[in-house]
Structure 1
Amino acid sequence: MSQKFIIPADDLDRLLQEKCTSELRTGYITVDGVCLPEYFQNFADRVENFEVRDDDIWVCSFPKTGTTWTQEMVWCLANDLDFERGKVILQERFPFLELTSLWDYRNVIQRRPDLVKPHEFIFDSFNFVNKLPSPRFIKTHLPFHLLPKEIRTGEKKPKIIYVSRNVKDTCVSYFHHCQLFEEFSGTFEEFCRLFLAGKVYFGSFWKHVSGFWERRMQGNMLFLQYEEMKADLQSVIKETAKFLGKKELSESEIKILEKHLSFTCMKANPAVNFEEIIEIQKRLKLTTNEGKFIRSGKVNQWKESMSKEMINRFDSWTEDVPKGYKTCAQRFKFDITQYEYMPITAFVYSTESGSELHDTEKKLYYPLRGKERTEVQKKLEHIMLM
């Protein structure tokens, strides 16, 4: 694939350059419509030609949508709840493929020759992932159209778990993340403006989600939502285990894993809470901001963070999303891209009344899962073609 690298230069690009650059990241480029650090262009070929294996397990996501939570769930399920081995930091067990392309440590190493060279999963993440024994567990924030060629063409079919989240909550969480890790020095409102324009790295949000959403029915793809995990983690655990080809877990095993994945345990777990990484960043004077990687874990936090005007801008932006990104939201009065908690009229599948779709008034906290969800999806796909 021939990629186009563009150095943007409008007002929002200048805002991004002014508020979100540092010694580790000196600027941004646009790669096939995606905002990425300029350092990425040195690694684009390594991403494109990365050798994928059919038994790989990938967790893909837009940043701050529940990635770490999903990674830990997937790794534990695939490794038969081996919590002892799970004490190894997640970055080693489930490395971030393109991590090296996001931060340029060369100047830091030259400035501080006394420092130990960063771990390979930081300094050369591509080589680190490539050398892992099968099955490999791989994290990426790349949109589908920038994934390695062997995945896009279908030559290799690894298992892919994609997790998404309410767009406004994603923005709030991403803002705090960028303050902590990217030295973002702007206001929340300025960050929202950048987010809406797709001027945050890996943006635009909707294009990212849609690339995986439209492939969600493929046999090697599982599409999860953060809000589903919060509302009914046990059901998500069961479906993910089935997708991974694992044996059915006992009720006690599910409860043990559910506790392990609770917000309290995740925040206290040094293998996943990135506290060590944050301390290294501070020691190197690469960040001066305080904060936690696992920060809130709440849904609808945007209601406490966004002004009414900004909420309206996000809602208008969502309404303007191309039809393909919103599936059949207008037809069914249920926009699966919103993930809101509210009483709505929706078409659902009833196992009691047969296979007919029908109107029902109920409080929908998350989409149906398992067999019921599959039946709904099949019917919706059929109606979308009418």
Structure 2
Amino acid sequence: MKTLVIIAWRNVWRNKLRSGVVIASIVVGIWAGLFIMAVTTGLNDQRLKSSIDTYLSHIQIHSPEFQVDFDKKDTITGSRAILDKVDTMRHVSAYSKRLVLQGMASTAHGNYGVKIMGIYPKEEKKVTNVSEKLVQGTYLDKLKRNPIIIGEKLAHKLDAKVNSKVVLNFLDAGNNTIATSFRVEGIFKTVNSSFDEANVFVKYNDLAPLVDLSGKYHEIAILCDNINRTIPVKSRIPTNNLVETWDELAPELGYTQKTMNNFLYIFMGIILLALTFGIVNTMLMAVLERKRELGMLLSVGMDRRKVFAMIMLETLFLSLVAAPLGVLLSIWGIEYFGIHGIDLSTVGKGLESFGMDSRVYTKLPTVLYLNITLMTLVVALIAAVIPARRALKMNPAEAVKAI
């Protein structure tokens, strides 16, 4: 067996150009596949993180009826007891109490439908990152009366600036129209342009008296210390209200997370399948070029199983050289762009509409490197079967006469 291994290794390098082309194709295929997978994973994780940090949080509590028609009367029941329990729970980093109203934001330049969030600024800072996304002004801590912060996209539509007046129109508890003037204290810009256009934030203490809902809340957002703690924390919240995790609030995000690994393996499988045809073609040419040599080996009594094993070993050696090189090159590229990111500002507006930043940081689970290496070796061995079988079917008497 040792002799067979040595012969197979030497055969690999008899035609350095051909072997080099096969190795290069495998290296480039693995590198390209893993890098695209890392970009896809980075985009997906970035979208999930920005959604949780900006508006989803890990858990939200509502009245069951509120999620149906957003009626302002459907507030959370027993909110005080819920908050007392949440205060004592492990793995809860912070929570924020909110009023949520549907209304209209108006200036002399137009009016647009918005979601009005009545918040406690100090609490909200711990749950969402909107306070960190201000491009102008301050975060509801400067103006004493009726301050408001709005998204940059909405500000452009309303032609509103810091200190501009914005009139909010909404219905009170008796379904009477309320029109109240607020002054813009700050303008924020997140990675989600749709969110910026449709949400405004005011102080709970300014909004609650206007709709006669003081001491009541439509929404409690809870942030855990780790996304993996979401289910355990949810299960310990005692309430008859509707308690939903981030993947229940945004099913498309949850579905994407669950199917991401399957997608990555399918994608890499397609690339390896394409490489298979290249390996088959190259090894088949190698067998046909050595037809006379193989015929002589068979003529002098070499076991056909050893001929088969030799062809398989040659292909395996090519893969054993190429796969580690491809993985190492991928690790270097993914680690580098995982730190410095990839600038996609040319398509930044399109990414913002999906809640993604224009700079993408590559990321790939470590286990995928090992799995892809094993997949490459398996695919190479499968590809070697066709040329190896072709060698077995040779007639020694005819093969030795080949030119």
Please give the range of the TM-score, normalised by the shorter of the 2 chains: under 0.3
Structure number with greater Rg is: 2
> What's the TM-score, normalizing by structure 1?
0.25
Higher strand share: 2
